Structure 1
């Protein structure tokens, strides 16, 4: 039987799934193990004699049951196991005396929307993971023991037992999604060309695209044939059978790819489930998969997929990019799987809302995920942010502090609305990319471009006029910048559109954020991130150029134009780290079309800000009355005349 192919019994259960989930030229990415196993030797000492007694090696079925029992005992409570058995019993179909779960059954139970078309991909994933730790047997029939493996790994509970395999889950998830492309394999073997288009033909990329597929076999991070899965070995080691899971020869794993279409479907699902809480139904978010909301979900998913590949030239994602981009740019991308698959651990036959006396506990009213309405931030963007900012700081916690379209594009309005927020904030700026030819620019645009350093880098986007969305997460409150910037190493500079990218704060350079109003001593003001603060100068020494950091974002004082710079080849210290997916120099100069600042916090932070605003209003009123007296203009004029401040040849100006 060819490696990676299911048995005859499994084919009857999984054949329909394979026909819908995979194209004819793909077959599931399943590594091949050696059939050898270790025969443990038990030494029995009786007096001064020893005798070697060998026992038959345990079968894979026995090891799977033993590992499932260990997971069930260590990773779940007794109530969760009871509920899981009840759920499985109510859902399972029986075929040839085997109780198992089917694809459509799982999709209905998890309430996965049909419009996403992701059910076959999810079933491919869990059918692979269900074969753990003997992944060469995938796809597995999803019986009770197999589903224990699936839930344990998909919800990260395995870390309670297999601590040393914790970092290997990402590789397991990649394998569960990946396929082997036979056309790619034949093409690479023929001419070793690393770049292909959708039909398998060569395609030429420019060095600035940043999405060229690496040469097969040259990636140190690619899946190696001789590699060992730490997660598998940790599982078998816990049963004292570590060597059973050693990898053997199989199809060259350097040709393993996650199809771009499948990955987009998974990303759309992960965006949808990102805000899920414990026992929260996915159907409660049904409004996000219709109309405009569904379009927004697809747009955000395209931006995330663009971080991994250029879909116009590559059919799938390699492990090297998958393994480098996810931990740096979206470490929490798979967190939504936990509340989704934990539904198997809560039986609907158990009603926890009833008291012993018969009274019913009324559930708390669920607050909306986004309380305020803005022009830039929507539910899909917020889910995208939760891929690299913990969701507990975002969902039901964000409040709109400043919106340029409503509050005015000025630093004064920005200061009034934002500076009183004593908790973390998220700034979002949206704009349209400017052409490289500066001689075609208008007056304001020319003035802004003249303040940038003369060295220019090519645009990081595919087309001039393309829309770009950038942002910054700051954990410290905003303040005026004098001689040093504010912020800390938790600060994050990021791009959301058209390519998802994250630039994390570096502890070696503290030029995280600055807010400087133009003045006589600092003529070039504005808001910047990753740039040295403007230094006050004398008139004859005024600088007309902004000092840009290697990885930085700058907005002028009128909030008309902005510039994002990514100098990847620079050897200088930077407040923000370089990109993990675009390892080249680029610069996006754009005209700002919208600007928002959102506060991360709850009612307590909002109450504090309201109290601060009220105090400032009272102080302003008190100062006004001190300046004008009682508020009666005629009485104030008489008082000032008696003091000799106005009247005669003096003038106190208008009292209005």
Structure 2
């Protein structure tokens, strides 16, 4: 009987198996209320053709409130039509009926963890396939180019700074259908997408014999990926049931241009748009886990809109007129409470792609701004050191020219502190804007013999190329803060550099010891230097997964900011500390014991040991 049952399972059609799979997804991943709401939403949106009810592209875009200006609706619909055919991907694109929509929502939201055997890895592969297209001409061009680069001794994967010219510009994709490049993906087709909870369906055997197309050269068109990145930046802070239309101001005028600029920086991590027509899976699968692990998080609240029917509003009373509510509207806290020259909503969303947005949106507070507080280590210390929670430092500047440049005395003095050996800049663009940053989970403090920070420290670059350099578990030279002194003349902020060793005065070093992957800001916050020695190993931060070559960026600082990650408790503690320090400073400035004789009062304080010698006064409280 068992054998007969197995044979019967193998002989069922793809449609029956797909329907059974959707039912299993529904039972395992959705609550009864969510399923009821989904059916109600589908019923209200679906159109019927040839006795088949399904969703159209414009209907989905209108329901999810996708802004037309992004031009991303066709890309999103292509993804949904491909994923809706799962696990029989050779049948894509699928008609988006109710069963297909259940599969799409499961994969697009974090429910995928309950059904895909390899979780994030399987999902990433599915998302790539849903975005990829196939064109033999462009694939051959890219393959020939890579073969030529290897023959010339480039040694390794092409990077965003590949200088190899392209004989002809990309003319577009001739076949605009989902691709399936198995050689590039490096697996045995779709057989690798095994479902952990559905052995009884015998799905593995089903798509082993499903005639999976043997395409080679699948890639995501650069323009399609840019459009999707802009959407992902927009939805990054989206809360469950929050309307995307509430972010309409982010897709207009200067905000839209900022969104596009940020998307271009992220796109540069994957390819050089001047020379590459699209992104292959090997690049996609290498960059995303390290540089952008949370890039798809915003898809969960976006697609969960299908699970909330507008007819089910528990906030309304039965006797309340439609469209009215007795409850006061929620006070929406802004995503970013303070304004500054570097951090904006686009940059905040970009950072949330590698730092969970739950600790960023509506929780950042501007602690220090060089524009407002002055570019000095003393001001930095006063504003930042009292924050007892994680912080994000951002520094923005302009690349210093390599030649034919009259440097100032301050610039020359800084350059003389750097080692004589110098790597070339990452690109040939003169005076390009650069933005770097660091995330520190530990509070800032003065560096003496050891650096501070831990394995959660993240060094990163935001502009012109998005890049992330995770902390090493072996080298602990994460961060240092050193004020200039007789024993440490080379003060400043260093990330990834060993702290200066205490030596005799006449043997003081005049050169900064740079780490393999490091960022240095001088003590006056005028100049900085980022070093990426890819060939070296053993630094406090790991080398780039996107740019596998040596480079160094020397720049003049234009803006410097520190943002505190935390809530009201951290802000209250910092405010109390600032108030205490202000009272202390005021008390020390106005020493008065009430005798009327200032000299006598001072003599008494000196006898008490409160002032005099190395003391500047004590608390009068």
TM-score > 0.5 by shorter chain:
yes
Residue ranges of structure 1 left out of the alignment (5+ in a row): 1-40, 45-50, 196-204, 214-218, 646-656
Residues 383-422 of structure 1: pairs in structure 2 closer than 5 A: 383-422=349-388
Is the partner of 1:327 in helix, strand or coil?
A: helix
Which residue of the partner structure matches residue 589 of structure 1? 554
Decide whether the 8 Å contact of 1:232 with 1:245 is kept in 2. no
Which residue of the partner structure matches residue 25 of structure 1? none
Pair 1:93 & 2:47 matched: yes
Residues 23-422 of structure 1: pairs in structure 2 closer than 5 A: 42-43=2-3, 57-187=11-141, 193=147, 210-211=161-162, 222-224=184-186, 226-232=188-194, 234=196, 237=199, 239-246=201-208, 253-355=215-317, 360-422=326-388
Decide whether the 8 Å contact of 1:473 with 1:491 is kept in 2. yes
CA displacement at 1:189 relative to structure 2: 7.5
Decide whether the 8 Å contact of 1:180 with 1:255 is kept in 2. yes
Which residue of the partner structure matches residue 172 of structure 2? none
CA distance in 2, matches of 1:191, 1:435: 31
Decide whether the 8 Å contact of 2:522 with 2:528 is kept in 1. yes
TM-score w.r.t. structure 2 length?
A: 0.88
CA displacement at 1:183 relative to structure 2: 1.3
CA distance in 2, matches of 1:622, 1:577: 48
Deviations 1:205-263 (A, max 9, x none): 999854489xxxxx998224734443355476352332112277766644111000000
Deviations 1:324-383 (A, max 9, x none): 000000100000000000000000111121257867433421101001111110000000
CA displacement at 1:464 relative to structure 2: 2.1
Deviations 1:67-123 (A, max 9, x none): 101111110000000000000000000000000000000000000000000000000
Residue 580 of structure 1, aligned match among 536, 541, 545: 545
CA distance in 2, matches of 1:481, 1:504: 21
Shift in CA distance, 637/332, structure 1 to aligned 2, threshold 3 Å? same
Which residue of the partner structure matches residue 37 of structure 1? none
Decide whether the 8 Å contact of 1:165 with 1:230 is kept in 2. no
RMSD of aligned alpha carbons: 2.8
Pair 1:568 & 2:534 matched: yes
CA distance in 2, matches of 1:236, 1:52: 14
CA distance in 2, matches of 1:190, 1:507: 39
Decide whether the 8 Å contact of 1:260 with 1:311 is kept in 2. yes
Which residue of the partner structure matches residue 610 of structure 1? 575
Decide whether the 8 Å contact of 1:411 with 1:557 is kept in 2. yes
Pair 1:467 & 2:433 matched: yes
Shift in CA distance, 74/421, structure 1 to aligned 2, threshold 3 Å? same
Is the partner of 1:471 in helix, strand or coil?
A: strand
Shift in CA distance, 194/239, structure 1 to aligned 2, threshold 3 Å? farther
Shift in CA distance, 639/84, structure 1 to aligned 2, threshold 3 Å? closer
Larger mean Cα displacement after TM superposition, 500-509 or 238-247: 238-247
CA displacement at 1:184 relative to structure 2: 1.9
Decide whether the 8 Å contact of 2:191 with 2:204 is kept in 1. no
CA displacement at 1:545 relative to structure 2: 0.3
CA distance in 1, matches of 2:434, 2:359: 24
Decide whether the 8 Å contact of 1:485 with 1:532 is kept in 2. yes
Shift in CA distance, 247/477, structure 1 to aligned 2, threshold 3 Å? farther
Which residue of the partner structure matches residue 460 of structure 2? 494
CA displacement at 1:644 relative to structure 2: 12
CA distance in 2, matches of 1:619, 1:643: 16
Is the partner of 1:473 in helix, strand or coil?
A: strand
CA distance in 2, matches of 1:70, 1:55: 15
CA displacement at 1:629 relative to structure 2: 4.3
CA displacement at 1:42 relative to structure 2: 3.2
Which residue of the partner structure matches residue 513 of structure 1? 479
Decide whether the 8 Å contact of 1:550 with 1:567 is kept in 2. yes
CA displacement at 1:267 relative to structure 2: 0.1
TM-score w.r.t. structure 1 length?
A: 0.84
CA distance in 1, matches of 2:404, 2:463: 24
Is the partner of 1:461 in helix, strand or coil?
A: coil
Shift in CA distance, 449/60, structure 1 to aligned 2, threshold 3 Å? same
Is the partner of 2:438 in helix, strand or coil?
A: strand
Which residue of the partner structure matches residue 427 of structure 1? 393
CA displacement at 1:619 relative to structure 2: 2.1
Deviations 1:436-461 (A, max 9, x none): 23974221111101101111001013
Decide whether the 8 Å contact of 2:190 with 2:212 is kept in 1. no
Is the partner of 2:413 in helix, strand or coil?
A: helix
Is the partner of 1:256 in helix, strand or coil?
A: coil
Residue ranges of structure 2 left out of the alignment (5+ in a row): 150-155, 165-180, 608-621
CA displacement at 1:164 relative to structure 2: 3.7
Decide whether the 8 Å contact of 2:115 with 2:195 is kept in 1. no
Pair 1:444 & 2:410 matched: yes
Shift in CA distance, 190/331, structure 1 to aligned 2, threshold 3 Å? closer
CA distance in 2, matches of 1:229, 1:169: 14
Decide whether the 8 Å contact of 2:117 with 2:194 is kept in 1. no
Decide whether the 8 Å contact of 2:265 with 2:465 is kept in 1. yes
CA displacement at 1:539 relative to structure 2: 1.4
Decide whether the 8 Å contact of 1:458 with 1:585 is kept in 2. yes
CA distance in 1, matches of 2:25, 2:157: 49
Shift in CA distance, 53/234, structure 1 to aligned 2, threshold 3 Å? closer
Is the partner of 1:147 in helix, strand or coil?
A: helix
Shift in CA distance, 339/56, structure 1 to aligned 2, threshold 3 Å? closer
CA distance in 1, matches of 2:342, 2:145: 46
Decide whether the 8 Å contact of 2:183 with 2:216 is kept in 1. no
Decide whether the 8 Å contact of 2:418 with 2:511 is kept in 1. yes
